């Protein structure tokens, strides 16, 4: 009705699914003008998020996190190492992010996913950020067992089980949740000088790390990824949205609201100061939501 060109008539006659596939950008924009998105969310609304702790029985700490369909499984295994001479009373954290072929049609067996090393590096930069052992999330000194002799190496592995956008946000949340679930095993030194887990019948030996089963997590990082498209800011994009509109901004704030990192890897849209401020404000709001979800998961564990 009254559309200026022939293609408009074609569009109005086409059914929704075909329109979405053939003209994805127009399809999305037709929703944006009504301040909504195809999945029913408002532009700045994140998807439903859940976190379950202790999903992996064979690990010392683990968490399964879902943001919409995006699913991350994080687990921590504690091993013992001899600390390096330059930091004799500090442990270590090794972080790896994996995208197995089950998570997305774009990942093929035998070929590593392009996104995996990028997310892995971003996670390491965020979690291992250490300024004089104070402002990071984990104090590496708490991972020390016997100064100069033995310290914990925490292997944190995060697996993407379903890749539907905002991978870094979900991976970071799962990492934080796994650290809050972590129970450090009680260990003792055996006769050969090796650190072993204390078993019940081993009463005579003295534990090396009595009463230090939980890490103190300070300034927990939370993140939100937004898409910039024309004048719109879309929070927590799906994989489809990420593939159609390419400008992403990821903001990481810590629990006191300070900026940890700001990541805008190029893209056709340039961000003005006001847009960055809006992204930070959205992240601040999202960080409060995520903190509540995490607190709920932790208190749920304590009841059990």
Partner 1 sequence: MAGKGGATPSTYAPSPTTQKTKSLIFGNDDVDWVRSDGREFHQCRPAFFKTGAVNCASGSAYAEFGNTKVIVSLFGPRESKKAMMYSDIGRLNCDVSYTTFATPVRGQSCLGKNLVIDPILEEESYQDGSLMLTCMPSRYEVTQLTITGEWSTPKVNEVRQIADLFFVVLYQMLFDQRTSDRYF
Binding site for partner 1 (CB under 8 A): 56-59, 62, 69, 71, 73, 75, 77-84, 87, 90, 92-96, 98, 100-105, 109-110, 120-121, 124, 128, 140, 153, 155, 157, 159, 161-164, 185, 187, 194-197, 199, 239
Residue closer to partner 1 by CB (options 21, 194) is 194
DSSP string, 188-256: EE-TTS-EEEPPTT--SSPBSSTT--S--B-S-EEEEEEEEETTEEEES--HHHHHH--EEEEEEEETT
CB of 278 to partner 1, least distance (A): 29
What's the number of CA atoms in the CB half-sphere (13 Å) around residue 9?
5
Rounded CA-CA distance 88/22 in Å is 60
Between 140 and 297, name the residue whose CB sits nearer to partner 1: 140
The least CB distance from residue 244 to partner 1, in Å, is 15
Return the number of the residue (35 or 82) whose C-beta is nearest partner 1: 82
Q: CB under 8 Å, gap of 24 or more: what pairs does 38-44 form? A: 39/68, 39/238, 43/232, 43/233, 43/234, 43/235, 44/233, 44/234, 44/235, 44/282
Please state, in angstroms and rounded to a whole number, the distance separating the CA atoms of residues 91 and 215: 12
At closest approach, how far in Å is the CB of 262 from partner 1?
A: 21
Smallest separation, CB 70 to partner 1 (Å): 9
Q: Report residue 274 as tokens.
A: 């006001």
Nearer to partner 1, 127 or 287 (CB): 127
Closest distance of CB 293 from partner 1, Å:
20
Would you call 152 exposed, middle or buried from its count of C-beta atoms within 10 A (0-12, 13-18, 19+)? buried
Distance CA 33, CA 36 (A): 7
CB closer to partner 1, 95 vs 271: 95
**Dihedral sign computed on CA atoms, order 81, 63, 293, 254:** positive
Taking the complex as a whole, how short is the minimal distance between the CB of residue 216 and partner 1, in angstroms? Answer: 17
Whether the CA torsion 233, 236, 240, 243 is positive or negative: it is positive
Decide whether 33 or 57 has the Cβ nearer to partner 1: 57
Instruction: Tell me the closest approach of the beta carbon of residue 28 to partner 1, in angstroms.
Output: 18
Nearer to partner 1, 8 or 100 (CB): 100
């Amino acid at each position: 009705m009254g559309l200026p060109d022939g293609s408009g008539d074609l569009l109005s006659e086409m059914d929704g699914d075909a329109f979405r596939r053939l003209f994805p950008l127009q399809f999305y924009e037709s929703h944006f003008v009504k301040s909504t998105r195809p999945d029913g969310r408002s532009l700045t609304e994140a998807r439903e998020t859940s976190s379950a702790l202790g999903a992996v029985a064979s690990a010392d700490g683990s968490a399964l996190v879902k943001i919409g369909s995006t699913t991350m499984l994080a687990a921590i295994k504690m091993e013992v190492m001899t600390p390096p001479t330059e930091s004799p009373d500090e442990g270590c954290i090794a972080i790896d992010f994996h995208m197995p072929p089950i998570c997305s049609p774009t990942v093929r067996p035998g070929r590593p996913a392009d996104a995996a090393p990028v997310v892995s590096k971003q996670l390491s930069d965020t979690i291992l950020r250490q300024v004089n052992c104070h402002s990071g999330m984990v104090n590496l000194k708490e991972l020390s067992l016997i100064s100069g002799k033995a310290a914990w190496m925490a292997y944190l592995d995060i697996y993407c089980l379903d890749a539907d956008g905002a991978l870094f946000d979900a991976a970071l949340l799962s990492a934080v949740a796994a650290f809050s679930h972590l129970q450090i095993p009680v260990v003792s030194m055996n006769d050969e000088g090796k650190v072993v887990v204390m078993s019940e019948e081993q009463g005579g030996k003295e534990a090396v790390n009595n009463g230090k089963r939980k890490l103190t997590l300070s300034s927990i990082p939370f993140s939100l990824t937004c898409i910039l498209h024309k004048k719109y800011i879309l929070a927590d994009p799906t994989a489809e949205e990420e593939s159609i509109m390419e400008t992403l901004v990821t903001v990481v704030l810590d629990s006191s609201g300070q900026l940890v990192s700001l990541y805008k890897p190029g893209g056709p849209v340039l961000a003005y100061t006001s847009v960055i401020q809006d992204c930070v404000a959205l992240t601040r709001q999202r960080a409060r939501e995520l903190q509540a979800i995490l607190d709920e998961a932790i208190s749920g564990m304590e009841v059990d």
